[in-house]
Amino acid sequence: MKVIWRPKKFLCYSEAILTDISHRFFLSKFSGKNGKDGDSGSYHCVARNEHGEAQSREGTLKIAMLRDDFRTRPRTVQALSGDKAVLECSPPRGFPEPVVSWRKDDKELKLSEIPRMTLYPDGNLIIEPVEHSDSGTYQCVATNMVGERVSNPARLSVYEIPKFLQEPKDVTSCIR
């Protein structure tokens, strides 16, 4: 039996396949390495033997991918304690759409445990109110089934407004 995978107009895959005694066969993978987004599309299978030909329904092939470059990379941010800090990140394009997470000082941030930190759908991390303990090195991480991309590190520096440790007192003195 000969099996041919055809995209819309051109021959893509052709190989003789041995079947089991029931004459059924299963194809679980698209044959080929380094699939490109241009390979995505509708395909159907044609099986031929000396008795005739059968054609399958169309199936859709979508190539998973994750580009290398972040569209917006995190940059160094300075903030005053109590203010809002915004760490920007637009992840690389990918299919399926990459999921964004953040690391601080090489450790994954568990945002569900830090109510002052919010991850926005665009990938930005908002910290409000920012605290001195939030100072550190942050990285944006984009992940999908293809793999993981990690941004260059960006530093968040949080400064305290100066305050008096001891309030000044009035002093009266006599000069002679």
> 65-102 pLDDT, tens per residue?
999 999 999 999 999 999 999 999 999 999 999 999 99
- On the question of pLDDT at 139 being above 90, the answer is yes
pTM: 0.69
Cα dihedral: 171, 174, 175, 176 (round 10): -170
> 20-39 pLDDT, tens per residue?
555 454 444 444 445 555 66
Sequence-ordered list of residues with C-beta below 8 angstroms from that of 53, at least 6 positions apart, any chain: 46, 47
**CATH T-level fold of 66-159:** Immunoglobulin-like (2.60.40)
